[in-house]
Structure 1
Amino acid sequence: MKINNLGSVNVNPYRKNLEKQTAAATKSQTKEDKVEISSKAIDLQQSNEVVKARQEKVQAIKAQVESGNYTIDPKAIAKGLVEFYKK
């Protein structure tokens, strides 16, 4: 009886696995992660910072009022009102 190995000439079962690993390695090296933040998200982030700053300012004024150290500057209030209504 004669057995011909026609289909197994130059076949290495580990070669395909090795090729898959090298292909995956090259893909992972060429990929770059990118993060893009929309302008709306940037605006929200900045508004959160403004809100925090306002809260800190309000807390400081509350502390001054409670301790009796808060003084009102009528000239500054008048100037602010004039500038507000000029706009």
Structure 2
Amino acid sequence: MKINGPNHSNFNPYQKQMNKQMEPKKSSGQQDRLEISKQALNMQGNEKTHPSRQKKIDQIKHDIDTGNYQVNAKATAKKMLDFWSNKS
């Protein structure tokens, strides 16, 4: 005896919903746009590093290239703890 149940014609009552989900959404005519504030534009324009800061950056780069760069783990840990303890 073969029992197919009520859906023996392979009819899927949810097929219309599945097809609707698979269709690509039609655009409403609007396009995405990006707005950048004047302050952000000024920040982008100020990419030059202050000379004293640039000197420090160049020294660190030189130390890394020559293998002389040393990290002070205690000072780093202290600064991290200070930073996170001030957040709460």
Same-fold status (TM-score > 0.5) = no
Task: Name which one, 1 or 2, has greater alpha-carbon Rg.
Answer: 1
Higher helix share: 1
Give the TM-score of the pair, scaled to structure 2.
0.38
Give the TM-score of the pair, scaled to structure 1.
0.39
